[in-house]
Structure 1
Amino acid sequence: MGEHYFSQNPGAASRPGAVDLVLPDLHLRLETDRGTFSPDRVDLGTRILLETAPPPPDRGALLDLGCGYGPIALTLAKRSPQASVFGIDINERALELARCNASAAQLDNVRFSLADEIDPALTFEAIWSNPPIRIGKPALHTLLLTWLPRLSPTGRAHLVVQKHLGSDSLQRWLTDQGFPTERIASRSAYRVLAVTKGPSR
């Protein structure tokens, strides 16, 4: 692949599309485009995360790490209307789509932005992510070690990772880094991992 969805300004020519996110408790029509993650359908891993993770906290700040065009953040915003939801990504095209999707869904408790636009003092009651595994292990580890420490003392992260892309080794690595991690679901070769802050964090 010459260019990835994790480019800041994708060079792929625009080809707008739309996908439907249908879950037992909601239905969202999402605008998509080339140069974003999974533009032709909601990614299976994302769907498994949204179908199997426990309900998000009903208040506080919630984070979608690597939000793309917004399916996870918008689901969090819909399920927790009293919470403040933040979606961050490096991809400017994806962020603009996510903002449009939030507006279309009339969800005003969600904000999409670049990472450096988030208040550095903000802590999160939940972090949900279908993390960009293909950026490579060093970059992925840096990303996770940047944001997981910003969980509140009672906060929890939920990550969905394919088994063949290293979910089991990631689970071990996170625990070794002081973030106790357990597998809470396994489906279609995807693992959903729940991550907490250890006492030393």
Structure 2
Amino acid sequence: MGEHYFAERPGAASRRRTVDLVLPDLHLRLETDSGVFSPDRVDAGTRVLLETVPAPPQDGDLLDLGCGYGPIALTLASRSPQASVWGVDVNQRALELADSNATAAGLDNVRFRLADELDPGLRFAAIWSNPPIRIGKAALHHLLLAWLPRLSPGGLAHLVVQKHLGSDSLQRWLNDQGFPTERIASRSAYRVLRVASRTEGHTR
């Protein structure tokens, strides 16, 4: 994979190119670059998520956690034009690409930020994510425990994870943490997990 795409400022030399995200309801041409996640094509897991997840809420604040150059956030923004969509990532190059891709797509209801730039009081009606599994289990758990508690009451997160990278164990762990989690789709070794707000009284 070369340099980790979760570096804040990738050192890889820039090599811009474009990829196409074609879904039944939209077609986006996205600019990518070296040093970001899946620069040569829209990741297969992202595609599985976007092709199987139920329609997002039509309003409220929606989050793409680990947005990369923006395919998930831009799909959320297209499908829910009255919502406020947020994309967060640690990778500055990816955030700049995502912002320019939103402009090119004419989507003005989406913003891209570093995590600590978001209002900590924001609560999300939905979180969609192809989470960065390769940061390691401990870091992944820390990330999810930072963001999943920010689901609004009744809000849902949808995560896509490869089976061989631990989707089943992650599902068990989320349930153990008080987030009711079930698999809603399985395709090409990917699992889509639906995660509900933390059960009342569970503070682990």
Q: TM-score, normalised on structure 1?
A: 0.99
Structure 2 segments unaligned to the other structure (5+ residues): none
Tell me the residue number matched to 2:114: 114
Structural mapping, 1:109-148, within 5 Å: 109-148=109-148
Q: Distance in 2 between matches of 1:49 and 1:143?
A: 19
Tell me the residue number matched to 1:76: 76
Q: TM-score, normalised on structure 2?
A: 0.97
Paired amino acid for 2:200? P
The alpha carbon displacement at 1:3 in A equals 2.0
1:61 and 2:61 aligned: yes
The alpha carbon displacement at 1:16 in A equals 0.2
Q: Distance in 2 between matches of 1:91 and 1:119?
A: 19
Q: Distance in 2 between matches of 1:106 and 1:71?
A: 14
The alpha carbon displacement at 1:154 in A equals 1.1
The alpha carbon displacement at 1:200 in A equals 2.5
Paired amino acid for 1:83? A
Tell me the residue number matched to 1:30: 30
Residue 121 of structure 1 aligns to a residue whose secondary structure is coil
The alpha carbon displacement at 1:199 in A equals 2.3
1:49 and 2:49 aligned: yes
* CA distance 1:21–1:2, shift in 2 (3 Å): closer
Paired amino acid for 1:188? S
Residue 172 of structure 1 aligns to a residue whose secondary structure is helix
Q: Distance in 2 between matches of 1:169 and 1:117?
A: 31
Paired amino acid for 2:90? I
Tell me the residue number matched to 2:19: 19
Q: Distance in 2 between matches of 1:3 and 1:93?
A: 13
Residue 116 of structure 2 aligns to a residue whose secondary structure is helix
Q: Distance in 1 between matches of 2:5 and 2:117?
A: 20
The alpha carbon displacement at 1:106 in A equals 0.5
Paired amino acid for 1:75? T
Residue deviations 1:89-113 (CA, integer Å, cap 9, x gap)? 0000000000000000010000001
Tell me the residue number matched to 2:93: 93
Q: Distance in 2 between matches of 1:77 and 1:2?
A: 31
1:200 and 2:197 aligned: no
Q: How many residues align?
A: 201
Structure 1 segments unaligned to the other structure (5+ residues): none
The alpha carbon displacement at 1:2 in A equals 5.2
Paired amino acid for 2:135? I
Residue deviations 1:44-102 (CA, integer Å, cap 9, x gap)? 00000000000000000000000000000000000000000000000000000000000
Residue 169 of structure 1 aligns to a residue whose secondary structure is helix
List structure 1 runs of 4+ shifted beyond 2 angstroms. none
Q: Distance in 2 between matches of 1:51 and 1:58?
A: 18
Paired amino acid for 1:95? L
Residue deviations 1:115-158 (CA, integer Å, cap 9, x gap)? 01100001000000000000000000000000000000010000
Identical residues among aligned pairs (%): 79
Q: Distance in 2 between matches of 1:30 and 1:200?
A: 43
